[in-house]
Amino acid sequence: CDGVLRAQGVYGYPIEIQALFFMALRSAMSMLKHDTEGKEFMERISKRLHALSFHMRSYFWLDFQQLNDIYRYKTEEYSHTAVNKFNVIPDSIPEWVFDFMPLRGGYFIGNVSPARMDFRWFALGNCVAILASLATPEQSAAIMDLIEERWEELVGEMPVKICHPAIESHEWRIVTGCDPKNTRWSYHNGGSWPGDFFFFFSFLKLFSFRL
């Protein structure tokens, strides 16, 4: 999914995988025949789409209000009424998020798992979430607002950065083993991927409607 390690199946599934899976399910729904077998599959896909969209829109979404809610989470909540369902420790929120998150805007974070949230911005997952209608109209607008508010950080002089922020310093040494391919803003570590161009141009088309 990205060059910086995010173990799948251990720490949950990244936003890109979730958004692409949602898009695949919607595509399958439109291609199925309306016969007995097709309707059965449609019902199963519809249930999966509903569950997946609720999960993503509720637990992967981050805006200023949600960031404040997470900051005030209580830990060790285990009942079905628990607000902090993933037992996220508020102190695990990186400091850069508070400066990065504008009052107007929001985005789907990179990953969610027990006691761990990947707060980084990933362009592909958020753009696909808009294209596939995984994001609600309000969330889609908020993602575009965030890009507009943080243009220098997310675009700058590059077409669009795949990840923000890139990992560096001690974390870079631990995660990548000092791999020179993963230096700050390199091809793997927050840079641009040629394989993302289709989604990038689709994203530009979306953004042009805002201008």
Q: Is residue 142 part of a domain?
A: yes
Position 114 scores a pLDDT of 74
Q: Is residue 196 part of a domain?
A: yes
Task: Please report which confidence band the pLDDT of residue 175 belongs to, taking 50, 70 and 90 as the band edges.
Answer: confident
List residues bridging with 163 in a β-sheet. 122
Task: Please report which confidence band the pLDDT of residue 209 belongs to, taking 50, 70 and 90 as the band edges.
Answer: low
pTM for this prediction: 0.83
Q: Is residue 66 part of a domain?
A: no
Residue numbers of the domain that contains 121? 15-60+92-208
Closest CA to 63 of 131, 135, 152, 153: 135
Burial class (CB in 10 A: 0-12, 13-18, 19+), 58: exposed
The length of the chain in residues reads 211
Q: Is residue 20 part of a domain?
A: yes
Q: Is residue 156 part of a domain?
A: yes
Position 201 scores a pLDDT of 62
Q: Is residue 76 part of a domain?
A: no
Q: Is residue 72 part of a domain?
A: no
Q: Is residue 87 part of a domain?
A: no
pLDDT tens digits for 6-42?
Answer: 555 445 688 988 999 999 999 998 888 888 888 888 9
How many structural domains compose the chain? Answer: 1
